[in-house]
A and B are shown apart, each in its own frame.
Chain A
Amino acid sequence: MSEVSAQAWLLEISRNQVAAVGLHELVEVLSRPKLYHVPMASPQSHQVLVWRDEILPVVDFGATSSNEPEDALPGGVVTAIAVYQTVPGEPLRHGALQLTVMPRTVTVADNMACALPETNSVIGALAISCFSYENYAVPVIDLTRVFESTPSR
């Protein structure tokens, strides 16, 4: 019996962190869009951008309270527009993810499934599964959780 496989986007969300989403979950990549600050929010999510008459939240997993957002670093940062649906039948929603390099597609097979790394609690809480790829454990993130969940302090 043949292995079931699917295409996914591999996202480098910080210098040493990768995650994945389904092939249909990325719709566009922007280069350095205008970002607007929103006060009293978390270091990972305190900005929005305007895209097709919508205001989208921007999540930057590479930003921490102790460093600058990675868009302050020279070169390489792109912003991926992601699409998700909170409930089947509801209108599609969009959000933006800051990436350190352009996303690329990978083929994921059932036999690549692995356990979530215990050290990565932020991504772990947003993951629905995980697969092994090029010596990385790659969490598959749930975009509804990424953009709709209120961050815990």
Chain B
Amino acid sequence: MSAASTSVGGVVSGWIACAFDDITLLIPMEDAGARIDADELEPASGKLQLGLLRWQDLQWPAYRLDRELAPVPFEPNASTVVLPVCANGEARGIVCDQIRSFDHPVAVTLHPVPGCLRERPSPVIALGLYETLRVGLVVRGDSLIRHLDAALKSVTP
């Protein structure tokens, strides 16, 4: 197993590609729920929350991220979709422009993040090559949820 595979924590059953703001997150299927439409979100009042999704009988907030993975204000439209990302009994919704699934574990080839790209601690644990020429950012549910919680704490109310 390569160093990059080890960073993902072992073999995954497939991948979800979640695209927004010119970047694509690659999330193991084990860490994602079924996509929902933005109009299925229930109203939310929390900081930068775009709505609440239901996952395992609890409600969890959904956010739009920018290309630096920071939660940002966003006006959902008819084509907006939400991917539930989950780990350790928690979930968050990521508001995307497009969601695709790859039902095969080797659909994504993992590559380590080069040293010169590691300026700050990041939820991106590897880079993924898929469909021959496309590059996505590999994240796990727990690292993305921790990152979101930390980023929201630094947002001025």
Contacts and interface: CB of A to CB of B under 8 A. Distances in A.
Interface of A: 34, 36-42, 45-46, 48, 50, 53-57, 59, 95, 146-151, 153
B117 A54 contact: no
Contact of B23 (A37, A53, A59): A37
Interface residues of B, number: 24
Contact of A153 (B119, B124, B127, B135): B119
A147 B111 contact: no
Contacts of A37: 22-23, 67
B133 interface: yes
A95 B69 CA distance: 25
Given A50-B129, A54-B111, A38 B116 contact: no
B153 interface: no
Contacts of A45: 116-117, 119
Nearest to A38: B117
* Chain B binding surface, main DSSP class: loop
B114 A147 contact: yes
Contact of B116 (A36, A50, A53, A147): A147
Contacts of A148: 114-116
A41 B117 contact: yes
A95 B116 CA distance: 10
B135 A50 contact: yes
Contacts of A95: 114, 116
Contacts of B125: none
Given A48-B127, A53-B129, A54-B111, 8 more contacts: A39-B23, A39-B68, A39-B69, A48-B117, A55-B111, A55-B127, A55-B135, A95-B114
